[in-house]
Amino acid sequence: MDKITVTSPLLPDLGEFDELLKDIWSKKWITNNGTYHQQLEKALCDYLKVPYLSLFTNGTLPLITALQALRITGEVITTPYSFVATTHSLWWNGIKPVFVDINPVTCNMDPDKIEAAITPKTTAIMPVHCYGMPCDVERIEAIADKYGLKVIYDAAHAFGVEINGKSILENGDMSTLSFHATKVYNTLEGGALIVNDDKTKKRIDYLKNFGFAGETEIVAPGINAKMDEVRAAYGLLNLKQVDEAIAARKVVAECYRDSLKDVKGIRFMNDISGVRHNYSYFPIFINAEEYGMTRDELYFKMKDANVLGRRYFYPLISTFSTYRSLESANPSNLPIATRLAEEVICLPMYSSLSMEQVNRVLFEIVK
C-alpha cells in the first residue's frame, strides 16, 4: 500500500505561481525588500493580527536575530521539549541554555519551574508554544517582569493561533515563526519575527541585512537572513488557502479524537475553549502498560504498514552531545519531558490527508 507520510506541504496553484514568476522575471528585482516581500509582510500582519512583522529566510534566523536585537547574554531559560533550533539559537549567541521541565498536559514550559532556575546571569526566557498549544503567557510574563527578564517566544508551531480573538504572537518582547515546508503555512523555507513597535522593526530589518542602515552606513554586525521575491510571491499564494487548510486539518483531528477516545493507554490533546487552534500536529502519548505495546513497538508496526508517524520530540534537546553536560540537562531535572519524549508519536497530519488514509492510520492504532 502507498506510503502515508507524516506531513505533506501545502502547495500553491502552479499556474498562478507561474504568473507571479513571470512578473518577477520582467521586473528583474529578485530580493532585497521587493514588492512581493512588502506585500507579504503586510498581508501576514493583517492575517495574523500583529502590528509589525519582518520576513526571514527561515525560522531559525529570527530566533538568532531576536537574541541579538535584545542584546541577550549569560543564561536563558528554555524548554528541552522542542525542535533543536530553539536551543541552537542560544548556542549561536554564546548563551548558556538552562532547561526547565514541562507541563504534561500542554507540553509547554512549566511556569512553576522557572523561578528556581533563575540566577544572576539570567537575562531572558525562551518558551515554545509546542504543537501550537498556547503557553501560560500570563504567568511567564509576570515572572519575567518581576525579575526584569525578556521573553522571546519560539512560535514556530503557532501560525494563526489566537486566544479570545487576539493573536498569540503579540505576547512577550518578540515571537518567531517558521514557514518551513513541514509547517501549517510554508514559503518553501522561510520565517518571520514579530515585534511590537516600528523602531524595533526597523532595527530587525537592519540586522537581517548585514546591519545596513543606508547605502554606506552599518549600525550593527548583522547577518544575511532576507527572504527573496520568489518565496514571498509563493507565500502570498499560500496565504490565500491557509484557512481552508486549517479547516481540513481540524476535520482530521476530530476524526482521530473520535476514534481514539476509547482506546486504553492512548492520550491526546484536546482543544481549549476560546483558542483558535491551527492543528499543526496531532501528537498521541502511549502508556505502554495500559496500551499493551511500547511507543517504539507501535511506531515500527505503523512503519511496517507504510504509515509514518514521527517521534517528535524525541530525543530531547537536552540529551544531544552539545547540551547533555549542562547541569540542567540532567534527566532528574526534566522528569516529565523525559517521559513524554518516550511516549509520543505525532500522527500524519496535513490538509490533503484523505479519510481513507486517516482510517488506515487508525487501523494500525485502534485495537
Ligand X SMILES: *Cc1c(COP(=O)(O)O)cnc(C)c1O
Nearer Cβ to ligand X (337/365): 337
- If the CB atoms of residues 177 and 286 are measured against ligand X, the closer one turns out to be 177
User: What is the closest distance, in whole angstroms, from the C-beta atom of residue 61 to ligand X in the complex?
Assistant: 7
Q: Least distance from C-beta 134 to ligand X, angstroms?
A: 14
Rounded to a whole number of angstroms, the minimum distance from the CB of residue 39 to ligand X is: 21
Burial group, residue 252, by CB count within 10 angstroms (0-12, 13-18, 19+): buried
**Which C-beta is closer to ligand X: that of 107 or that of 298?**
107
Our CB check for ligand X shows the closer of 44 and 266 to be 44
* Minimum distance, C-beta of residue 81 to ligand X, in the bound complex (Å): 10
Query: Cα separation of 13 and 179, whole Å?
Result: 18
Which lies closer to ligand X via its Cβ, residue 12 or residue 132? 132
Q: Please, which residue, 58 or 357, has the CB nearer to ligand X?
A: 58
The nearest distance, CB 272 to ligand X, in angstroms, is 19
DSSP collapsed to 3 states, 221-287: CCCECCCCHHHHHHHHHHHHCHHHHHHHHHHHHHHHHHHHCCCCCEEECCCCCCEECCCCCEEEEEC
- Whole-number Å distance between alpha carbons of 90 and 329: 15
For the bound state, the minimum distance from the C-beta of residue 178 to ligand X, rounded and expressed in Å, comes to: 3
Residue ranges binding ligand X (CB under 6 A): 58-60, 82-83, 85-86, 128, 154, 156-157, 178, 180, 191
Smallest distance from ligand X to CB 6, Å: 13
Q: Which residue is nearest to ligand X (CB)?
A: 59
Task: Please say which residue, 266 or 329, places its beta carbon nearer to ligand X.
Answer: 329
- Cβ proximity to ligand X: between 180 and 226 the closer is 180
Q: How far is the CB of 110 from ligand X (least distance, A)?
A: 17
